[in-house]
Amino acid sequence: MVDLGTLATPAVAFVSAEQDAPAAVISASHNPYHDNGIKFFLPGGLKLADAIERRIEAELEKMQPGGTSAAVPRGASLGRLEQDEGALARYEKHVVGCLEGRDLAGMRVVLDCANGAAYASAPDVLRAAGAQVVAVLGAEPDGTNINHECGSTHPGALARAVLAQRADIGLAFDGDADRVIAVAADGQVVDGDRILALLARDMHQRGLLGGGTVVVTVMTNLGFHRAMDPVGVKVHTVAVGDRYVLEALDANGWSLGGEQSGHIVFRSLATTGDGVLSGLMLADLVRRMGAPLHELAGNVMDKYPQVLSNVRVARREALAAAAEVWAEVARVEASLGREGRVVLRPSGTEPLVRVMVEARTEGQARECAGRLVDALHRALGEAGPGPSPGQG
């Protein structure tokens, strides 16, 4: 085994592709430290398919006390641990090289590294690209402060720092640095939908958007879809999860996809979402366009009001067969017509059904979401109180 040290998830994926070796990352991703888990990559830096993950989980269950597996390695059979001290430098060189000789000279940048894995690599990459990194937040990880009121899920501190430093752009990563959320010079937060819309339109204009298509998830704002059609960009929608974005890109030979959360995949440059790479490419776009980010982001799409509800239910597994719920969904969709959208999906880890409604006005979206919440409670029952909803 090779120890890469503290390295962001996309950097580990880069080394996995470079060495054609499987890899594992221990990370809390965008969550608190106590939600640490393990991400696996196949040789080549690609995430595992759902079926393979389920097989691994089944084998792990067998290894637990009282399990049936006799193949648990022990002693010398555990293998040897080596260090790869050059992995970070190779990854940083690769990311900066994606600018193809361009630079960010003169740009004032603020970073929020979420007290996570990008605390060293993100400042290094932006400085190597020529940017003036005027402040770095969330760069003092202590093992328990990852994502705590900082990073891409809490961009408020970054917005204040951008204004205080009179920066051109701020970039907030999550703990394992596979996501990025931006802040414009006026303090406006720019989410993954707007970032992806800017990148898709730019790549299409430059002839770099494979198949003229961008891949998004069902949570992507309806305004994104409306904005892509007039500029000739086709939109392909998949289930929530960057792995499904990547699968669609690979299956069709496309080059760009992403999520509202800030996962952006440049398939010709990386095997997974990379927040530092995405932030670098966004800063490069702003520099090439010669206009402030808030102006570019404001013009690229009109965002539809979006209401999200995490509905605690007693029987989430019965959602698919809940005729009353789907009848109400049909009625809501009919009332919205082409000016709105509904998404219902069960959580993968909690007794929740996640409801998303978009409409032309926030009031209409909230009214429709309320109808669906009531229908879910009638059909599936109400679960008791529990911990704060996660992202399953």
- Domain residue ranges in the chain: 2-87, 88-300, 306-380
Task: Tell me the pLDDT tens digit for each residue of 299-353.
Answer: 999 999 999 999 999 988 899 999 999 999 999 999 999 999 999 998 877 889 9
How far does the chain reach from its first CA to its final CA, in angstroms?
Answer: 30
Looking at domain 2-87, its CATH class is alpha beta
Task: Tell me the pLDDT tens digit for each residue of 113-135.
Answer: 999 999 999 999 999 999 999 99
Task: Examine domains 2-87 and 306-380 and report if their fold is the same.
Answer: no
Overall pTM surpassing 0.85 (yes/no): yes
Does position 387 have pLDDT exceeding 70, yes or no? Answer: no
Q: What percent of the chain has pLDDT over 70?
A: 94
Q: How confident is the model at residue 385 (pLDDT cuts 50, 70, 90)?
A: low
99 against 3, higher pLDDT: 99
Does position 159 have pLDDT exceeding 70, yes or no? Answer: yes
Asked if residue 182 lies in contact with residue 152, where contact means CB atoms within 8 angstroms, the answer is no
Which residues share a beta bridge with 135? 110
Exposure string of 344-377, with b = 16+ CB inside 10 Å and e = fewer, is bbbbeebbbbbbbbbbeeeebbeebbebbbebbb
**Catalytic site residue from 27, 29, 152, 309:** 29
**pLDDT for position 183:** 98
Query: How far is residue 165's CA from residue 150's CA, in Å, rounded to a whole number?
Result: 18
Looking at domain 88-300, its CATH class is alpha beta
**pLDDT for position 390:** 43
Q: Which of 15-29, 64-78, 168-182, 308-322 has the lowest mean pLDDT?
A: 64-78
| 278 assigned to active site | no
Q: What percent of the chain has pLDDT over 90?
A: 73
User: Torsions phi, psi of 311, nearest 5?
Assistant: -100, 115
Q: Which of 8, 10, 6 is nearest to 18 (CA)?
A: 10
Mean pLDDT on 109-114: 98
- For the record, the structure tokens of 25 come out as 């990352």
Quick one: how far is CA 102 from the chain centroid? Answer: 26
Task: Tell me the pLDDT tens digit for each residue of 217-232.
Answer: 999 999 999 999 999 9
Task: Tell me the pLDDT tens digit for each residue of 45-89.
Answer: 888 887 888 888 888 788 777 666 666 666 777 677 788 889 999
Q: How confident is the model at residue 40 (pLDDT cuts 50, 70, 90)?
A: confident
Q: What is the CA radius of gyration of the chain?
A: 22
Query: How far is residue 183's CA from residue 109's CA, in Å, rounded to a whole number?
Result: 10
Query: How far is residue 112's CA from residue 387's CA, in Å, rounded to a whole number?
Result: 27
**pLDDT for position 128:** 98
Does position 205 have pLDDT exceeding 50, yes or no? Answer: yes
**pLDDT for position 208:** 97
CATH classification number, 306-380, choose in 1.10.3720.10, 1.10.10.10, 3.30.1330.20, 3.30.310.50? 3.30.310.50
Mean pLDDT on 155-159: 97
63 against 167, higher pLDDT: 167
Q: Which of 269, 247, 219, 249 is nearest to 48 (CA)?
A: 247
Query: Strands of 37-42's sheet, edge to edge?
Result: 23-27, 37-42, 46-47
